[in-house]
Amino acid sequence: MGVFVFLPLVLPLTAWPVARLAEHHLHPRMATWLLTGASAVLAVCSTLSLALLMVVGTAQLPGNPLPDGWSDPEVREAVPYDEVAGRIAIPALILVVASCARAAWRHRRVRRRAGRALEGLPATSVVVLPDASPYAYALPGRKSRARVLAKSRARVLTKARGRVRGNVRARVRGKVRATGRATGGATGGARDRVVVTTAMLATLTGPERRALFAHERAHLTARHHRFLLAVQLAARSNPFLRPLRTAVTYTTERWADEEAATSVGSRRIVARAVGKAALISRGAPSVTLAGFAVAGPVPRRVAALLGPAPAARSWPSLFTGAGLAAWGAAAGAAASALSSANSAVTLFVILKAATPL
């Protein structure tokens, strides 16, 4: 166990160089996946290390519910017992869990409130609200349930084709269709929507409106809200991961900008639409929902759109600054995973040996 239990708490620092270099030298799609993956791994390992330190610290508290063998002097010599670190880890882990739970609850609450606000409106992919406040954002629907239902239907039908014949097959198909009706039409239910106000549309021209809609649809298609929620939770679990959260907020917007430029056929139109919207927009209702003009480096987005399209690479070369930083972040994530795994296995073996039968 040794010092390895403390390494995942500081190894997120290895990802700092790639947070800035990825914005400039990697395709936004690649940068988003790389930064989100590194954030998730480093956050999980950091939280696991806190949990291991909490076990060690809790075992030393008087009146704890853990077995007496866990606080034995021989066990204290075998693990890196540190009275200060062990006891600090207890409130730290509680704070991390509470903060992540609050962020996830707030994300869910905002989505529910936004969905309820749109009840009664036509079930179209674009919702225009008569509001004097200019804003636009992508509201993802609950597609996971629909996909599960569709897959279950296909699975039932596949088995039915192989095992039944004639009237039996027809009855099975009828049951499947009835199941779909009984669920209230989940496949056609809560769908992805682009929410925009009349004040925002009044500011943009026709081509710029098409750029806005293409941008928001790119957010929905790529499920950018999941990336944003993942890095938000990671940053709350370890403050050293906040630069990666900021970088992913930027790269998801750049990713949608590039998709919109491809769809519209003009990078200049998208740049002009982004610039106009940034001057008047108030942004999305939550940091985990993607908006057209979120707070951030809008001038850099406009400058990138006025330049050539980024080259799509699967992985940067090691002989470049971005490649070196990417490999450094990957190595840091791998070292963090190995360190936390080594500490967990070591502590498990020691405490298992110290626990009486």
Residue 65 is predicted with a pLDDT of 65
User: In this structure, what are the phi and psi dihedrals at residue 294, rounded to the nearest 5 degrees?
Assistant: -70, 160
User: In this structure, what are the phi and psi dihedrals at residue 211, rounded to the nearest 5 degrees?
Assistant: -65, -40
Instruction: Kindly list the domain boundaries of the chain, sorted by start residue.
Output: 2-141+190-354, 149-182
Residue 258 is predicted with a pLDDT of 93
Who's near 240: CB < 8 A, 6+ residues apart? Answer: 10, 12, 13, 16
SS3 265: coil
**Residue 27 pLDDT exceeds 60:** yes
Pairing mode of beta strands 126-129, 136-139: unpaired
Give the residue with greater pLDDT, 221 vs 61: 221
Residue range 86-122, pLDDT digits in tens: 778 888 999 999 999 999 998 888 888 888 878 878 7
Residue 348 is predicted with a pLDDT of 82
Q: What does pLDDT average to over the chain?
A: 79
pLDDT band at 159 (very low <50, low <70, confident <90, very high): low
Closest CA to 242 of 72, 103, 91, 48: 103
Residue 230 is predicted with a pLDDT of 94
Residue 105 is predicted with a pLDDT of 92
Handedness of CA 273, 275, 279, 281 (dihedral sign): positive
Residue range 293-351, pLDDT digits in tens: 555 678 888 999 998 888 877 677 777 888 888 888 899 999 999 998 988 888 788 77
Evaluate whether 51 touches 93 at the Cβ level (below 8 Å): yes
Tokens 């399209």 found at: 309
Residue 121 is predicted with a pLDDT of 80
Pairing mode of beta strands 126-129, 193-197: parallel
State pTM to two decimals: 0.79
**Residue 82 pLDDT exceeds 70:** no
**Residue 247 pLDDT exceeds 60:** yes
Residue range 163-217, pLDDT digits in tens: 544 443 444 344 434 333 333 333 334 678 888 889 889 989 999 999 999 999 9
Cα–Cα distance for residue pair 289/339, rounded to 1 Å = 34
Residue 290 is predicted with a pLDDT of 62
**Residue 84 pLDDT exceeds 60:** yes
